Amino acid sequence: MELRTVATTPFDDQRPGTSGLRKTVTHFRQENYLENFVQAVFDTVPELKGGTLVLGGDGRFYNREACQTILRMAAANGIARVMVGRDGLLSTPAASVVIRKHQTQGGLILSASHNPGGPDGDFGIKFNTANGGPAPETLTEAIYARSRELSEYRIYDHPDIPLYETGVFSIADTHIIVFDPVSDYAELMEEVFDFEAIRQLFLGGFRMRFDAMHAITGPYAHDILERRLGAPEGTVIHGTPLPDFGGHHPDPNLAHATELVNELFDDAGPDFGAASDGDGDRNMILGRQCFVTPSDSLALILANAELVPGYRGRVCGVARSMPTSGAADKVAKKLGLEAFETPTGWKFFGNLLDAGRITFCGEESFGTSSDHIREKDGLWAVLCWLNILAVRQQSVIDIVRAHWAEYGRNYYTRHDYEGIDLVAAQGLMAHIEAQFPALTGKELAGGKVAYADNFSYTDPVDGGVSKNQGLRIGFEDGSRIIYRLSGTGTVGATLRLYIERFEADPAQQRQDTQQALAPLITLALELAELPQRTGREAPTVIT
């Protein structure tokens, strides 16, 4: 065993995005690429020396190899203990649970979330701080700055740690604890939810299908749904994590979870369906003949929080990302709770959660969670729904329609244009923003424009300011058009177009979403000159 100091040169593309550093596997496998970023993290977070690091990922291609490299580097950088999930597996929400429960100094999560895997797919890495949440912008910028000046990294030459078995191992003075990645998370879920009520639901013949998409939530869903809650064997499909996710795109939406969607929209389909993504932090909720938008799901969980033991009598507020519909705002107003609108990126919820200003938070991109951790949590959202269904004894579609009748319906859709030319996308955004001064007060698509701006956020806890977070066109009736370039892809640019219209009249709440929003969709395309500037006649994905 030898401690080596390896000379290296900086890479200029290691600035973490909203969810860490994401690149193709080929890019990550460049000589010293992973090592440079990990060394930059270790150099920037001094409390890790002599402390404890949590490590694990979603099992995608390169996960195990990266774990072994990080373990050898952790030992070389004086980290006293590394807690690593068995087989290198650990869902993103479970990593947050482990960091918080064991009071570690942070964690490295290996995942590109919902992006495809395999040798030709994507890989990612991000650092979560001691509160269990993603590193704030100040820290990610410091990590990036360190990566730009790096000249060496430290690593031990050491045989691979046997990650396939739980136990305690060592590299030099560093203890490597290989632990069951499911148990801490499952135990927390039992504290939050009424497991007995959910067991009775399944005993009564309730039928469910959960699609783990050959990603990380398979082991968690098998343990919690089928073993602890008594759902019949076979409730969980695609439950074995695979390095390439079985050749599928592990994104739980209507376009990629088609097997699940087709089953739930069959007349004889299960009562309830759900799916989660590559690293377990996203969710899709379905009832028979019913898709629940992530925006509506957040609002419904907030409205029914008193039915869940872990939240009874203690809900204080809610936050949503700016592109998420205002459905949760309507609930918060009626319940007398604080409601916040933040930029996209889970780290923006962290200060609000730590300050006790909010209990629930969510994004339209299939992410929902609460103050139980500091990450979005796909399986948690599924358990929320099961708890609500067990208590209310109604179908998903009946619960949704009753909610709309009480709070109104926010017709809402997202159109994604993936892999478009970055220069063309930036030109399109500049073209839209240049029109803003002339838009306010105009009558467009049957409504009057109330404002047009580039969203800026001032954190109510620490006063931090985040600018250029998305282009908004808001109407006096509450309708909105939003344009945003996403930072989660690895090739080209992804342009996301969000359209929203509020409908208070129950008699008008059962229209087809795309038809209800058609005038606003047409206007959004015209204002952006989208087909002409991108060459795209239709979105890649509609949700």
Do residues 506 and 438 share a domain?
Answer: yes
| pLDDT value of residue 487 | 57
As given in the structure block, the two tokens for residue 138 are 């100040």
Phi-psi region of 476 (alpha: psi -120 to 50; beta: other; left: phi over 0): alpha
Nearest to 279 by CA among 195, 216, 343: 216
Question: Is the confidence at residue 537, as pLDDT, over 70?
Answer: yes
Question: Is the confidence at residue 255, as pLDDT, over 90?
Answer: no
Return the CATH number at 462. 3.30.310.50
Average pLDDT of the chain is 96
Nearest to 299 by CA among 252, 358, 350, 368: 368
Q: Averaged over 426-439, what is the pLDDT?
A: 96
Do residues 432 and 498 share a domain?
Answer: yes
Task: Report, in this order, helix, strand and coil percent for the chain, each rounded to 5.
Answer: 35, 25, 35
Say if CB 320 and CB 344 are below 8 A apart. Answer: no
How many C-beta atoms surround the C-beta of residue 259 within 10 A?
A: 15
Question: Is the confidence at residue 510, as pLDDT, over 60?
Answer: yes
Say if CB 422 and CB 298 are below 8 A apart. Answer: no
| pLDDT value of residue 488 | 54
Percent of the chain with pLDDT over 90: 93
Domain boundary among the residues 375, 407, 439 is at: 407
| pLDDT value of residue 242 | 97
Note the pLDDT tens digit of each residue in 287-308. Answer: 999 999 999 999 999 999 999 9
- Check residue 356 and report its DSSP letter: T
Return the CATH number at 269. 3.40.120.10
Q: Averaged over 439-444, what is the pLDDT?
A: 95
pTM beyond cutoff 0.85: yes
- Check residue 401 and report its DSSP letter: H
Question: Is the confidence at residue 412, as pLDDT, over 70?
Answer: yes
Do residues 222 and 369 share a domain?
Answer: yes
The C-alpha atoms of residue 126 and residue 353 are separated, in whole angstroms, by 20
Question: Is the confidence at residue 486, as pLDDT, over 90?
Answer: no
Question: Is the confidence at residue 347, as pLDDT, over 90?
Answer: no
Say if CB 410 and CB 325 are below 8 A apart. Answer: yes
Do residues 63 and 75 share a domain?
Answer: yes
Do residues 142 and 229 share a domain?
Answer: no
Q: How confident is the model at residue 489 (pLDDT cuts 50, 70, 90)?
A: low
Q: Which helix (H) or strand (E) holds 68?
A: helix 63-76
- The three-point CA angle 139-140-144 to 5° equals 115
Structural domain that includes position 170: 2-181
Q: How confident is the model at residue 17 (pLDDT cuts 50, 70, 90)?
A: confident
Domain boundary among the residues 181, 199, 218 is at: 181
Do residues 262 and 162 share a domain?
Answer: no
Q: Helices 183-192 and 378-392 meet at what angle, rounded to 10?
A: 30
Do residues 403 and 413 share a domain?
Answer: no
| pLDDT value of residue 529 | 96
Do residues 374 and 469 share a domain?
Answer: no
| pLDDT value of residue 361 | 98
As given in the structure block, the two tokens for residue 263 are 């089953």
Q: Averaged over 250-273, what is the pLDDT?
A: 94
How many C-beta atoms surround the C-beta of residue 453 within 10 A?
A: 14
Do residues 473 and 373 share a domain?
Answer: no
Parallel, antiparallel or unpaired: strands 457-458 and 465-466? antiparallel
| pLDDT value of residue 197 | 98
The C-alpha atoms of residue 89 and residue 67 are separated, in whole angstroms, by 10
Look at 486 and 501; give whichever has higher pLDDT: 501
Question: Is the confidence at residue 110, as pLDDT, over 80?
Answer: yes
Do residues 105 and 164 share a domain?
Answer: yes
SS3 26: helix
**Known catalytic residue at 151:** no
| pLDDT value of residue 516 | 96
- Catalytic, out of 113, 147, 297, 370: 113
Note the pLDDT tens digit of each residue in 357-408. Answer: 999 999 998 999 999 999 999 999 999 999 999 999 999 999 999 999 999 9
The C-alpha atoms of residue 434 and residue 436 are separated, in whole angstroms, by 6
Do residues 132 and 209 share a domain?
Answer: no
Nearest to 502 by CA among 524, 533, 526, 480: 480
Do residues 346 and 376 share a domain?
Answer: yes
As given in the structure block, the two tokens for residue 325 are 């519909």
Q: State phi, psi for 217 to the nearest 5 degrees.
A: -75, -5
Q: How confident is the model at residue 491 (pLDDT cuts 50, 70, 90)?
A: low
Domain tally, the chain: 3
- Sign of the dihedral through C-alpha 458, 459, 462, 468: negative
Burial class (CB in 10 A: 0-12, 13-18, 19+), 319: buried
SS3 403: helix
SS3 541: strand
Domain boundary among the residues 181, 216, 241 is at: 181
SS3 186: helix
| pLDDT value of residue 104 | 98
| pLDDT value of residue 359 | 98
As given in the structure block, the two tokens for residue 93 are 């929400």
Q: State phi, psi for 493 to the nearest 5 degrees.
A: -125, 150
Note the pLDDT tens digit of each residue in 163-219. Answer: 999 999 999 999 999 999 999 999 999 999 999 999 999 999 999 999 999 999 999
Nearest to 113 by CA among 414, 345, 417, 372: 345
Q: Which residue has the tokens 């979603």?
A: 58
Q: Averaged over 267-286, what is the pLDDT?
A: 97
Q: Averaged over 25-49, what is the pLDDT?
A: 98
